[in-house]
Every structure is written in C-alpha cells, then in structure tokens.
Amino acid sequence: MKLFPTAYSEPGTKPGTLADVKNGHYSLHMMSYTPASLTERPEIEPAACYSFIKDSDITWIHVQGAPDSATLRTLSQAFDIHELYLEDILNTGHRAKLEVNEVHAFVILSLPRFENKQIVTEQVCLFLSDHTVVSFCTGELDPFLLVRERIRKPTSKHRHRGGDYLAYTLIDTIVDHAFPVVETLAEDIQVLEDKLLEKPEKAIVQEIYFLMRQLLLLRRRLWPQRDIVSQLQRDDNLELLADDTRIYLRDCYDHCVNITELLETYHEIASGMLDIYLSNATHRLNEVMRVLTVISVLFIPPTFLVGVYGMNFDPGASSLNMPELASPYGYLFVWIAIVGMMGGMLIYFRKKRWF
C-alpha cells in the first residue's frame, strides 16, 4: 500500500475542478427493477441513464474504473450530483466519509484486495437518493457481481425493497471484502511465527516490518468506516434509510468493528514477533560472549604463570632466582599446573552452569 495514496488537484485550482485521468478506462452498468420487472443494460451511454429513472422503479447505475470528466458531468446533470462530490470521485484515495443533505447522501469507502501479493485499496463512492443509487468503484475488478445475481432473482429482497436496502447491500459488500484480506494476513503471521520459532534469520525482520506496515496502513483506511456505518444507522435525520434497513446496518457495523479489532490484534502480534526476534538476537549474542569470556578466563592463570617464568632471571646469580628452573621436572610441573588450573576452573564453571 502507498504511504500517500490520495490524488489531488493542483494547489490553487478552484473547487470542483475535474482533471481527466490519463489512460483511464471505465464501464457503465445499469439496472432498473420493480418486484415484477427488471431492465438491465451492461453497457449503456451516460446520457441514456436518466430515461430509466421512474418513481416506481429502483435504478442502480454502477461506474467501474476511471471515468472521464465528461461522463461525470453528464451523470451530475442527470442525478444532481454536486461538483465537489465529482471532484472527490475523480481524486481517489480519500478518507472514508459521509455527507448528507435533504435529498441525497454521499458516501466514500475503501475496498481492500490483494494484487500481486500487495494490498491495494479501491475507492468506492455511493450516491443515494430516493429511488436511485449511483456507485463508482476504481480498478478493473467489479466487486458487485454477486449483488447483481441476487437482484436478477424475482424472489430476492432487493426486488421488494427500496434503494436504501440496495445501498446497504453495497456497503456490506465493501466491508466484507476486507475479511479475505485479513484472513490472508493472519496466515502470513502464522507462517512468520513458525519461521521465527524454528530458525530466526535476519531476513525475517524485513518480512515482519513489511507486514506491520501493511497492517498499519490498512487499519488507517478501514478504521473510519466503522464511524460511517455507525452514523448511518444512528442518524435519525437521514430519512433516506428506512428503520428496517438500519437493523441490517447494525450487522454491518459489527463487521467493521470485528475487522478493525483483528487488525489491531495482528499488529500487536507482529510487534511482539519483532520483539521476540530482537530478544533472540540478544540472547545469541550473550551466549557467544559467555563462551568467549569462559575461554578468556581459562587462559588468565596460565598466562600469569608463563609470564612469571618468562622473566629470565639467572639462577646462578642467586639461590632465590627461580631455583626450580634447574629442576629436571620443572617443565613438566608447569604443564601439570596449567592443566590443573584450567581443569579446575572448567569443573567450577560447569557446577555453576555458566556454560
């Protein structure tokens, strides 16, 4: 994930400025339905969408990819979308937010997914009015394919509920897309734990740091969504949502809380793994230093002994000048003394369990 994912207009430009995305591609899908009928247009021109809006129908228009400014302006005129909302749609990477007025509600959420073993977050914008839902999702993969399958069934709840239930379904789908990502992160943590306990290597630090970075950035993108869902279910002034739909939003809020708590827990586990690695590295260093210290201490008495007998005093000059140098067994006695001292210290160190 990028540290700075937010796109923005050049400083100094007027609010609502729309800059076309380079090499942008998009698709537009429309569904208009009642309990008895369904009209679906997989590829439809933006200008033709308005003709399907009826008071008795629920109309859902989904824009997948990076639409150009002309498409956004056409949809803006058809569905009365404010120019500031269009700017938010075009400049991706925004923090999750909710804006409500008397007739409209505008929601921005983040949808995480894996791409080439990297976590990427797509921005999803929802524009809700009385009978119409307009959704925008960045990226090439459409996350709402299963929602369309449910709408195509005449017995589904969507065909008998209003646009607020459709909006809830889209929000719930966005939130639930985080569970496979979190599950994959949990598996990565388990693999790193096994590596850390079996054979801690220096390369594992990079993997742990990369995992902590992903968890932290993902938490930053998903944490505000729990506040958005909570506001949707609790805001009594939001008349676009029916009371029975708010009950479903409570379940969606529980999912948001569960995801954020899992991310916090995994981040703490990853931080603990880093501490374990550092502790193991310190312990290994202490073990090496202890062995080297024991070896150094073993050679201190022999070093002192051979230093004494290396002073080269002449025994013939005085009877006090190292008379043992004239002994035929002096060399042997020195070795016996050296081996005895070193052996005695080894036995002592062993009893003390110093190595």
Segment 204-208 mean pLDDT: 86
Q: Where are the domains of the chain?
A: 26-279, 299-351
Point out the least confidently predicted range of 147-161, 198-212, 296-310, 313-327: 313-327
Hey, what CATH topology would domain 26-279 get? Beta Polymerase; domain 2 (3.30.460)
Helix (H, G, I), strand (E, B) or coil at 118: strand
Q: Long-range contacts: 332-341, Cβ < 8 Å, 24+?
A: 334/305, 334/306, 334/309, 337/305, 338/301, 338/302, 338/305, 338/306, 341/301, 341/302, 341/305
Task: Give the pLDDT band (50/70/90) at residue 22.
Answer: low
Return d(Cα 62, Cα 84) in angstroms, integer: 19
Residue 94: count other Cβ atoms within 10 Å of its Cβ.
Answer: 19
Which 3 state secondary structure label does DSSP give 2?
coil
3-state secondary structure of 292: helix
- How high is the pLDDT of residue 184? 92
Q: For 285-309, how does the pLDDT look when each residue is reduced to its tens digit (9 = 90+)?
A: 888 888 888 888 888 888 888 888 7
Sequence-separated (6 or more) residues with CB below 8 Å from residue 147: 158, 169, 170, 173
Q: Which pLDDT tens digit goes with each residue over 257-281?
A: 999 999 999 999 998 888 888 888 8
pTM of the predicted structure, to 2 decimals = 0.79
- State the pLDDT confidence band at 54, using cuts at 50, 70 and 90: low
pLDDT of 102 > 80? The answer is no
Tokens coding 155: 């017995």
Residues of the chain with pLDDT > 70, as a percent, come to 92
**For the chain, what is the mean pLDDT?**
85
For the segment 3-18, what is each residue's pLDDT rounded down to a tens digit?
Answer: 556 665 566 565 656 6
CB 63 within 8 A of CB 44: no
Higher-scoring residue by pLDDT: 235, 247:
247
Q: What is the mean pLDDT of residues 200-228?
A: 89
CA angle, residues 199, 202, 207, in degrees to nearest 5: 90
Report pLDDT digits (tens) over 60-91: 999 998 888 888 888 888 788 888 888 888 88
Cα distance between residue 150 and residue 224, in whole Å = 28
Contact 111, 94 (CB under 8 A): no
Strand order in the sheet with 132-137: 38-41, 26-33, 58-65, 132-137, 118-128, 105-115, 97-100
Rounded-to-integer distance, Cα 38 and Cα 58, Å: 10
Confidence of residue 326 (pLDDT cuts 50, 70, 90): confident
Residue 349: pLDDT above 90? no
